[in-house]
Amino acid sequence: MSTDSITGMTPTNAKSHAHARPGWVYLVGAGPGDPELLTLKAARLIAEADALVYDNLVAPAILDFVRADAERIYAGKQRGDHTLPQEEINQLLVRLARAGRSVVRLKGGDPYTFGRGGEEVETLAAMGVPFEVVPGITAAAGVAAYAGIPLTHREHAQACVFVTGHLKDGSMNLDWPGLARRGQTVVIYMGLSGLPHLCAKLIEHGLPADWPAAIVQRGTQPSQRTVTGTLATLPARAAAAVLRAPTLIIVGTVVTLRDKLRWFEEAPDSTETQDPPL
How does residue 112 score in pLDDT terms, banded at 50, 70 and 90?
A: very high
Catalytic hit among 55, 110, 201, 275: 55
79 — pLDDT class (breaks 50, 70, 90): low
Residue numbers of the domain that contains 123: 15-134
Known catalytic membership, residue 77: yes
Task: Tell me which residue of 174, 190, 188, 163 sits closest to 77, measured CA to CA.
Answer: 190
Same-domain status, 147 and 128: no
Are 42 and 62 in a shared domain?
A: yes
- Over range 13-37, report the average pLDDT: 82
CA dihedral 72, 73, 77, 83 (to 10 degrees): 140
What 3-state class would DSSP assign to 190?
coil
What pLDDT sits at residue 14? 41
pTM of the entire predicted model = 0.87
Instruction: With respect to residue 4, please indicate whether it lies within any of the assigned structural domains.
Output: no
Are 122 and 111 in contact by the 8 Å Cβ rule? The answer is no
Task: From 109, 73, 102, 101, select the one nearest 89 (Cα to Cα).
Answer: 73
Q: Which of 90, 112, 134 is the last residue of a domain?
A: 134
Please tell me the total count of domains within the chain.
2
- Whether 178 is in a domain gets the answer yes
* Pair (147, 34) in one structural domain: no
Q: Which residues contact 9 (CB under 8 A, 6 or more apart)?
A: 3, 17, 43, 44, 47, 65
pLDDT value of position 82: 53
Both 53 and 145 in one domain: the answer is: no
- Compute φ and ψ for 216, nearest 5 degrees: -120, 125
Q: Which residues contact 13 (CB under 8 A, 6 or more apart)?
A: 47, 67, 68
Would you say residue 275 lies in a domain?
no
- 162, 188: one domain: yes
CATH number at residue 207: 3.30.950.10
Q: Which is the catalytic residue, given 4, 41, 64, 77? A: 77
Distance of alpha carbon 95 from alpha carbon 103, whole angstroms: 10
Mean local confidence (pLDDT), 64-78? 90
Please indicate, yes or no, whether residues 71 and 98 belong to a single structural domain of this protein: yes
Q: Which residues are within 8 A (CB) of 190 and not within 5 positions of it... i.e. 6 or more apart?
A: 79, 114, 164, 165, 166, 245, 246
Q: Which amino acid is at 116?
A: R
Asked if 23 and 128 sit in the same domain, the reply is yes
Closest residue by Cα to residue 277 from 259, 263, 250: 259
